[in-house]
Structure 1
Amino acid sequence: MDNIDFGDLNYLAVLVAVVFNQVLGAAWYGALSRPWMAETGMTQEDIDVMKGTSRQWVPYVVAIVLAIVFTLGLALLVQGMGADNAGEGLGLGVLAAVGFVLTSHGVNYAFEGRSLKLLAINVGYPLISYALIGLLLAVWD
């Protein structure tokens, strides 16, 4: 782990990755909003009640902050593993998504009795995002 150095990270690539993550999330959940709402039991009325309250914007702030955290973590993993090509970056991104996101969500969903459909919706987005961000971080000098 001698290769981990916050000073050597490409912070522009991290910023671009965070913006990409947010755009992908908006597109993903925009396209899958109806099945996601059905699986979570939310209605349009529930969403309308949130308008004008902190419940409307706080999740977006949390999403951005946590995207920064995971992107920095993935950047450190890419750096520490010496990944410097598209395949290695993509592989590390998939490994991170499957190894951490799918496994932790899977356990929670099993105990909560949530559906595989909701698991696929909620894990599909980070799987794609982490994979492409890993690729970006590995190839952007």
Structure 2
Amino acid sequence: MELLNILVAAVAAFAVGSVWYMKLAEPWMEASGVPRGPDGQPEGGMNPKIFALGFVLQLIVAGMMSHVFRMSGITSLGAGLVSGIGVGLFFISPWIALNNMYAMRPFKLTLIDGGYATLACGIMGLVLALF
């Protein structure tokens, strides 16, 4: 059952990411400096391998969050949500900020990517505490 819970948490976070980045595609492409073709889309399109690897990485995050939650006794929905938001806001987002700072990328990119990390981890935490 635990593996199914981790899978559902990763799927939920991945789905939220698809909506997040569809809504913020234009500002994200501008801030990240993704080269675009004449049609305004990323040059060369998006390789499906990127999405597959992205999902695998989210599975890893969900698996580790599940482990930490079990070790910490996090079982209520509120605690799962708050703990997930905490992971995204205080672990993942600062690391994103650090990478973007050294790469001299705009702070706007950190806000977009860190915002997604916080939201996705909150959703993961909620799902992990649900089952």
Using structure 1 for the length normalisation, give the TM-score: 0.83
Q: Matched residues, percent identical?
A: 25
What do residues 84-137 of structure 1 show as CA deviations (whole Å, max 9, x unaligned)? 111211121122112321121111122122112110111111101101211221
**One-letter amino acid of the structure 1 residue matched with residue 87 of structure 2:** A
Alignment partner, residue 49 of structure 1: 44
Aligned to 1:88, what secondary structure does the other structure show? Answer: helix
| CA positional deviation for 1:48 | 4.3
Residue type matched to 1:131 in 2?
G
Q: Does 1:103 align with 2:94?
A: yes
Change (3 A) 1:56 1:127: same
* Higher-Rg member (1/2): 1
CA deviation string 1:53-76 (max 9, x = no partner): xx6112112101101100000111
Q: In structure 1, what is the equivalent of residue 17 of structure 2?
A: 25
1:36 aligned residue: 28
- Give the secondary structure class of the aligned counterpart of 2:42: helix
1:15 lines up with 2:10 in the alignment? no
- Structure 1: give runs of 5+ residues left out of the alignment: 1-8
- Map of 1:63 onto structure 2: 54
2:120 corresponding residue in structure 1: 129
Name the Cα RMSD after superposition: 1.6
Alignment-derived partner of residue 4 in structure 1: none
The CA distance in 2 between the partners of 1:95 and 1:87, in whole Å, is 12
1:89 aligns with 2:68: no
Q: Equivalent residue for 1:6?
A: none
Give the TM-score normalised by structure 2: 0.88
Number of matched residues?
128
Where does structure 1 differ by over 3 angstroms across 4 or more consecutive aligned residues? none
Give the distance between the partners of 2:122 and 2:111, measured in 1 at CA: 16
